[in-house]
Every structure is written in C-alpha cells, then in structure tokens.
Structure 1
Amino acid sequence: MNVKIRKWCLLYFAICLLAFFNGQAFAEQELDALDDYLHTFIEEHRIPGASIALTNEEGIYYTKTWGITGESEEEITNETPFTIGSISKSLTGLAVMKLVDDGEIELNDPITLHLPWFTMLDDPARQITIKQALIHTSGISTYDGLALSDQEEMTVNPIKARVKQLANVQLTAFPGDKHQYSNANYLILGALIEEVTNQPFAEYMAESVFAPLGMHAAAADFNTAEKNGYLSGYQSWFGIPVKSPLKYDHGGAPYGYMTASTIDMVEFITFLQQTDHKFIREEAIELYNYPHVQTGEDRYYGLGIRVSNPDTYEEMIWHSGSTPNSRSELFFLPDTGWGGVILTNKNHFLEEASLLNLRNGIIRILNGEQPEPVNPPFQIIPVLISALNLIVFFVLTYSLVKIKKDEIKNILTWRIAGILQLLIAIALFPMLTELVGVPWHTVKAFAPDFAFFIYMFFLLLLLNSFIHIFYSIKKPLETFNLRGF
C-alpha cells in the first residue's frame, strides 16, 4: 500500500472514530436530558411510583423506575404490574383480530350472530357489527359505557353480566353513523371472545395473546394480577397522592383493567415494530393499525388502537389509559422506529393531560428538540368548589347570627331563599352529571377531592335551606314585612 492510500485510510478511520465518540456523547447528553426531564416531572406531579421504557429497532434504549406501589409500598421495578387502563382495548382489539385471522369470526359480522342473547332497547342494536364495536361507532354513548365501568362488585361471569345490563340502555346514534368512545363496546367484545372461544376472557388472553407475544407478567383478571405482584395505586387529592380504597373491576379487563409491566409492554411495542408478523398475518395487522374513523383534526381510531397523522413522517400509533388510581401511555413512531411506554400509579381526571404532555416531551427529546417546561397541575375546579363551600358556610353562619339576634324582618324572602336552596340541592347531582357528561360514581372515582367538596356543598345547602324554611314557618305570620319584598 503506497503512502497516499495509507494516509486516506487513516483519515477515514479517524473520521469514523470521531463520529462514534460524538454519537456516544450525544447519546449520553440525550439520556441525561431524559433523566432530568422525567425526574422533574415526577417530583412536580407527586407521582408515587412510575416505570418508563423507550425502545428503538435495536431493542430497549432507556428504562427507569421510580418510587413505590400502593398498599404494602413495594419498590417499583420494570417487572411491577400496573393497571394499564384503556391500553387494554388495544390488546382486546388484537385478540379479536386473532380470531378474525383464524377464520373464527369476520369484522362485518353482527354482534348478535355470535351473541344471540345480546339486546338493547332499540332494534337497530341488532345491526351492530364487530368492527363498529372496535372503532366505537356502535351508537352506544360514552356515558352509558362509563355507567358500566369501574364497578367493585364480585359477580359470576362479570363480563357477561355487565353486557346484559345494556338491555335497559338506548342507542344515541344509529350504528355506524357516529364515533362515541365507549367502554361498553369492549365489554361486548370481551363477551363475544368468551362465547366464540368457549373460554373465560382472561384465559383466552393469557394463552392466545399474552404468551405468544412474550407478555409473561400480563393478566386479565385480578387473581392472576395479584399473583404476579399487582398492588393498587393512588388517587389524587389536590395533587397529593392518597392510597386508593377502590378495588379492582372484575368485569373491566376488556376495556381497562388488564395489568402489565413495562417489560410486557415493551414486548407489545416490539410486535408493533415488526414487519414480519408471526402472531397474525400482515393483512390483519394492517387492518388493526388502519385509521378507520376520524376522531379529531389529525387523530383516528383503528381496531383498538389510535393513529395520529397517518401516512406522514409524524405518524404515531398509540393509546392512553386511565383507571381511578393509574395512568399510562404507549406509543410507536413508524418513521423513526421509536416506541415507549409510561406507567404511573396515580390519577385524577384533571391531571390526565399532563401525561400526554410528558409523552410529547419525551418524543421531542428523542428528536433532539427541547421539551416544553414541566408545570405542576393547577386544579382550578376543586378550588372553585372550595370557595363556593366557604360562601355557603358564611351564609349559614350569618343566618344563625341573625336568628339568634331575632333580626329577621322579611320572613317571606327568608322562606323563598330557603326553598331556592333546597331546589338547588335536589337538582345538584343530576345537573352536575349532565354538565360533565359522566355518571356520579365516575366523578367520585376519578376526582375524589372534587366529589368530597360537592358533597359538602350539598349538605351545607340542605342545612341552610332547612334553617331558612323552618324559621320562616315557626315565625308568627303577623311578623311578615311585605314592604321589603
């Protein structure tokens, strides 16, 4: 080799070596930025326990755990199971696609073809197809799905029992006409899986979905989840974590109560990253990930999975999940190969958006960009309700003082004020559930601090109305002063 060629070879080697070390330095900076960002987020949001994993085409790129579980306060590891909330729908949807791929069912089959006992108040409910249930266009409302969710009772065949409660429910749209995200759809699909396979839902998921995907600590029933180390999480009271008294929903696995660790969810992300699918055929997975129905400006719903910005370099396949004491995020970016899972054991409906912001911040760091600053959540609604309570308490105290001093002159006005407060108290809970669009038991589960102050407001209104009405009746009629009215 002549001297000139040797020099060029040495120069090329030096450039490669420099690029390698620069790449290593960039990766270390990226990991440091991730560490700092995640640590700040978890501290600011007072999350007791969390587990995060990020993957690329080479495998796990980053994994970290923080804190403790609820109940016996075990240290969180990447094998600690969390309830994954509505990410369960992605796995239920995959189970349905497995049955489609095996030729057991077809997407356009009516539900009643496989569940002849399924009925609702409307005849069109018999036309609901499997696909419509998967993409939430069955016509069953979000409210009616929540009314069946987060139950704590122990029943035999809990999924089937829950679906049978739909017999008293009316559709709010004709099947196929409108997207309404509803847990009821996935309860129906859970019952369908049981009917078609002649197996309990949890058993089918364990044998035909979790085991083939390598999700060895995942579970779709409480007994298995507990055996695998599942412990409940925390509810949020004004941002402060409080151990949750709520129990596992034994009929809720198809829509939101599956449990899994970050290692399990990495296996699911790996499945999404693959192009050669051994679990189901490529045609089935393309249908699974396809954006079947639009749910927002750039958001769509597949057959149990969400898709944002399809067919662009920003495309993201993802799903979020919530239970009263956990919050989770899962995502996969086909263009770059990045994927990730975030599991946390604290929740409040006013804090749910913050984990979406965390996910987006992580993606920005992975893309070499600066994330948005971490801001602690400010829960304005409970603060306003607290202020209302103080006002009503002040009115109550003022009324008692006026009565003691016998300074009430206009008894008719006093009585009307009492009747108005009584009417507000009676209408409070129906008006509130109508306003927020969710059943009261859901409010109690996902916003216990808010529910507590609503109860206080209700009791103060009742007490105040009772004092006003009772005093106005007891006071002799001749003391009425109509001139002030």
Structure 2
Amino acid sequence: MRIRVIAALSAVLCTLAAPVHAEPAPYAELDAYVRDNVRAPGVSYAVVGPDGPLHRGAWGTDGRGDRVTPGTPFLWGSVAKPVTATGVMALVQSGRLGLDDPVAEHVPEFAFDERVTVRHLLGHTSGLPPSTVFEVADCHAADCPRPAARLAALDDADPLGPPGTEYAYASTNYIALAAVVESVTGRPFAAYMREAVFRPTGMDGAIADTESARHLAPGHQYLWGIPTATAGEYDPHGAAYGYMGGDLDDLAAFASSQLRDDSILKPESLQQMRKESKPGTGYGLGWRVGGLDAPLQNAIWHTGGTPGYSAMLFLLPERDVALVLQQNLYGLLQDGPVMQVGFGAARILAGGEPGDTPSATVHHATVWGLTALALALLLATARSVAVARRPRPSRRATAAWCLAGLAPSLLLAGVVTLIDLRRLWAWVPDATLALCVAAAAGAATALLRTVRALRPDERA
C-alpha cells in the first residue's frame, strides 16, 4: 500500500514538473510573416472583426525617426477610393444623388462626355484614359485648384469608348467624384467626409486635407534600392483619389464598418458596391472584387500607394474578418515586392500559404541601367573635353557620338509628354535624377563632339 501511495505521488509530481507546451498565439504566424517580409522602415496592421480590431501590430520608425505605433498616421493611396465611394453611396442612399445622374448635371466643368454618370466614375468605366491622371493629380503646390477646376484639362482627352463600354482604372474618375460631392453638398470634400463617413465610423484621426495632414511624417521612397525619407508633399484636394490617410485605428474602423449590417450604408448598398460594375473587370463601385488566387478568390479588397506611403485592405466576408496594413514606403517600380507583405498576410489570415515575393527586376534594371548610362556619358563628356584639341574625327564617328549622346534627351522628352518632370520626380526620384544627368551629359558630349568636328583642321 505504501509503495502504491509513493508511486501515485511520484506520478503527480512528474506531471506537475513536466514542461507545459502552450498553444501558439492565433496570429503568431501572421506576425512572424509580416516581421520577416516587410520592406518598409515602419508598418502597422490589424486583423479586424465587425466590432473592431482583434489583433494589432506596429513596429519600425517613421520618416522623422520616431517609433511607429498604432497611433502613427500614414497615407493610404488608392485605399481612399472605397472610402470615397462609401461617402458617395451615402448621398445616393439619402436621395441627394443618383448613380445614373450625368456628372455634367452637377459639375458643368466636366465637359469630357455629357453621357458619363456617377456610376461610370465609381466603376472606372467612364472612358477616361489612365494617362489623364497626369493632367489632374499629384498637385503639391500651395495654390492647387479644387477638384472641379482641374477638370478642364480633360476637355481634349480622347475617350476609350462610349461610357460603360470600356474599363480603365484611372484616379481621374475619383477627382471628378470629389467635384460631384462638393457640388451636391455645397461643402469641401473633406468636411463632407468627416460628417458622413469619418465620425459615424469612428475614424476620428482621418486625414483628408492640409490641416489634418500637418503631423504626417515624410514617407520613404527607394533611392537606388535604399528606403529613404524623401516624400513629404501632399495634394490638398486629392483625398478622394489617394491623399487620404490616418492611423491604424482609423483604417481599422472603416474596415470594421464594412463588416457590419448597421454601418452608415444599408446591406443592399454594401452589396451593390461589391458587384462588378462591368462583367469581367474585377472592379465594383470603389472596390476590387475577387480576381485573386485561392484562398482570396472571394476577397473584397483594394491597395494603394502615394509617394512615400502604401496601404492595403482586404475584406474576407466568408470569415467575417478583415486585414488592414499600412507602410511608410512605396516605390512605383517596386509595387509588387512592396505590396507582397499585405497579400501574403491576407492569404495566411484566409488559411493559405503566403506565396512568393515578386521580383524587383524592373526596378533594378531601370534605375541601375539609367545610372550606368549617366556615369558612362559623364565619362564621355570628360573624354570629349580631353580630346577637344586633337585633330577632327571622321563624320561617321561624330555622328555616332551625337546619336549616343542625344538618345537620353530623346527618351526624357518622350517621358515628359506623358508625365511632367515634377510628378516624375515625386514618384521615381532615383530614375528621374539618373535620366536627367544622362540627358545633360549626353547633350554636352554631343555638343563638344560637334564643335570639335566643325573646328578648322589645324593640319591644313
């Protein structure tokens, strides 16, 4: 009997002494993936349910070197579009605006096509070419015109087709929507959004104008592959298409409202936004609809980037959760690699594998190729100075030097016909600087070689 008691006590003691293997935290895999794969100096993200955040993460530093917290503001880029669309749908739901109202009926400045409706703008089926965005967006001056005043630049644009027939994603549509909102409400776009969307959903710190953006730290862009805090400009009337933002709780509050039936929009309005505006486009009214591989094939989502910032929002209706993620880094030529951390995290949240990170070959080839060209032409300029007093070269050699030297200038001239130099600098500063140096050095080389060829031959 005594032996049995001792054995029983020993068994109990061994059980108590055995190591306890705790279950892993429910979001441990997601946290580890984001931490291991984020490229930005600072990031914040949240898993969100109908009642608010279920899990949050934030780390890194902002453009001033301060620690990133859930209260750090970011810009959201085109994630602003579903927020703007929600504000527009609130006007539709109240009867103050119709989805099939002609835009010109509310905004006479919109002379692009009198048949374009509010629905066409929301779904990017207005016929506006994507290139028109360079005419009206990314105005960073203190005296930037309001949305309606920018629309005259569209008068000479060639439509892609009759309204409703062609899908082409263009932020120009949402600049026009901001003008519609201001016309219908008689208020600045930011003021209307605060009343109709931000306050009702709890987006208390949302950024939508210069005043609310005053505490925003500079964002980061790639300079020869290194994230650098260089982007600090803001479009004061660009919130509708991309210059909207806020802290983690602001973006999470919007996502949470989209998971509830008692949000500012009725369920039928929410569902209408999540149906393709034109079959096969993968775009609803402000939202991207599906179009991703499993397990995100039914996701409602949007991504966005402005110079220095990027954000992503995924609604997973089947799981009744959402993922929001914002970073203080964006590179136009590195869109895929920068955004992959959000896509991978969303796949993990949906029960899948994160997938591979896209290659940054386009960025590296463009930036380093232009940099190598600039250095080569700088050397060519120095060489041209060194041989300036030597005998005249052959015409063929001079022509070859001139063609090689003027090639970057021709390339730069072609690029600026699509986007002006200031906007090009805002989006890809390293490639822009390299191209400008190459153009200047090439032109100098061509000039020096031409002068040498035209100089009288001292041997005569």
**TM-score between both structures, scaled by the size of structure 2:** 0.87
Aligned 1:131-280 pairs, distance under 5 A: 131-155=119-143, 158-226=146-214, 229-274=215-260, 276-280=261-265
| Structure-1 separation of matches of 2:97 and 2:400 | 62
Q: Name the aligned partner's letter for residue 28 of structure 2.
A: D
1:418 and 1:467 in contact (8 A); partners too: no
| Structure-1 separation of matches of 2:458 and 2:396 | 13
Q: Name the aligned partner's letter for residue 463 of structure 1.
A: A
Shift in alpha-carbon separation, 1:205–1:365, aligned structure 2, 3 A: same
Q: Offset of 1:383 from its aligned partner?
A: 1.2
1:87 and 1:319 in contact (8 A); partners too: yes
Residue 283 of structure 2 corresponds to 301
What's the secondary structure of 1:126's corresponding residue?
coil
Q: Offset of 1:426 from its aligned partner?
A: 4.2
RMSD of Structure 2 on Structure 1 (CA) = 2.7
2:219 and 2:232 in contact (8 A); partners too: no
Q: Offset of 1:141 from its aligned partner?
A: 1.2
| Structure-2 separation of matches of 1:247 and 1:371 | 33
| Structure-1 separation of matches of 2:173 and 2:455 | 56
Aligned 1:46-65 pairs, distance under 5 A: 47-56=40-49, 59-65=52-58
| Structure-2 separation of matches of 1:328 and 1:278 | 22
More helix by share: 1
| Structure-2 separation of matches of 1:172 and 1:439 | 22
1:346 aligned to 2:329?
Answer: yes
| Structure-1 separation of matches of 2:144 and 2:415 | 33
Residue 290 of structure 1 corresponds to 275
Shift in alpha-carbon separation, 1:83–1:415, aligned structure 2, 3 A: same
Residue 76 of structure 1 corresponds to 68
| Structure-2 separation of matches of 1:474 and 1:157 | 52
1:470 aligned to 2:451?
Answer: yes
Shift in alpha-carbon separation, 1:32–1:376, aligned structure 2, 3 A: farther
Shift in alpha-carbon separation, 1:97–1:442, aligned structure 2, 3 A: same
Shift in alpha-carbon separation, 1:425–1:33, aligned structure 2, 3 A: closer
1:384 aligned to 2:384?
Answer: no
| Structure-2 separation of matches of 1:286 and 1:368 | 24
Deviates more, 1:368-377 or 1:161-170: 368-377
Residue 36 of structure 2 corresponds to 40
Q: Offset of 1:171 from its aligned partner?
A: 2.8
Shift in alpha-carbon separation, 1:65–1:114, aligned structure 2, 3 A: same
Residue 11 of structure 1 corresponds to none
1:90 and 1:305 in contact (8 A); partners too: yes
Q: Offset of 1:31 from its aligned partner?
A: 3.0
Cα displacement string for residues 162-187 of structure 1 (whole angstroms, at most 9, x for unaligned residues): 22333344434332221111111111
2:44 and 2:57 in contact (8 A); partners too: yes
Q: Offset of 1:418 from its aligned partner?
A: 4.7
Residue 80 of structure 2 corresponds to 88
| Structure-2 separation of matches of 1:118 and 1:375 | 39
Residue 445 of structure 1 corresponds to 426
Which of 308, 318, 334 is the matching residue for 2:317? Answer: 334
Q: Offset of 1:35 from its aligned partner?
A: 2.6
Q: Name the aligned partner's letter for residue 340 of structure 1.
A: L
Q: Offset of 1:159 from its aligned partner?
A: 1.9
What's the secondary structure of 2:211's corresponding residue?
helix
What's the secondary structure of 2:411's corresponding residue?
helix
What's the secondary structure of 2:48's corresponding residue?
strand
Q: How many residues align?
A: 438
**TM-score between both structures, scaled by the size of structure 1:** 0.83
Q: Name the aligned partner's letter for residue 417 of structure 1.
A: A
Q: Offset of 1:278 from its aligned partner?
A: 4.0
| Structure-2 separation of matches of 1:402 and 1:430 | 29
2:332 and 2:427 in contact (8 A); partners too: yes
What's the secondary structure of 1:223's corresponding residue?
coil
| Structure-1 separation of matches of 2:408 and 2:227 | 30
What's the secondary structure of 1:25's corresponding residue?
coil
| Structure-1 separation of matches of 2:31 and 2:231 | 32
Q: Name the aligned partner's letter for residue 130 of structure 2.
A: T
1:460 aligned to 2:441?
Answer: yes
Q: Which runs of no fewer than 5 residues in structure 2 stay unpaired? A: 1-19
What's the secondary structure of 1:90's corresponding residue?
helix
Shift in alpha-carbon separation, 1:245–1:232, aligned structure 2, 3 A: closer
Shift in alpha-carbon separation, 1:427–1:213, aligned structure 2, 3 A: same
Residue 5 of structure 1 corresponds to none
Shift in alpha-carbon separation, 1:373–1:128, aligned structure 2, 3 A: closer
Q: Which runs of no fewer than 5 residues in structure 1 stay unpaired? A: 1-20, 480-485
Q: Offset of 1:149 from its aligned partner?
A: 1.3
Deviates more, 1:165-174 or 1:283-292: 165-174
Q: Name the aligned partner's letter for residue 62 of structure 1.
A: H
Residue 10 of structure 1 corresponds to none
Cα displacement string for residues 27-63 of structure 1 (whole angstroms, at most 9, x for unaligned residues): x2x5332232222223xx2x22211111245642321
Q: Offset of 1:136 from its aligned partner?
A: 0.9
Q: Name the aligned partner's letter for residue 237 of structure 1.
A: L
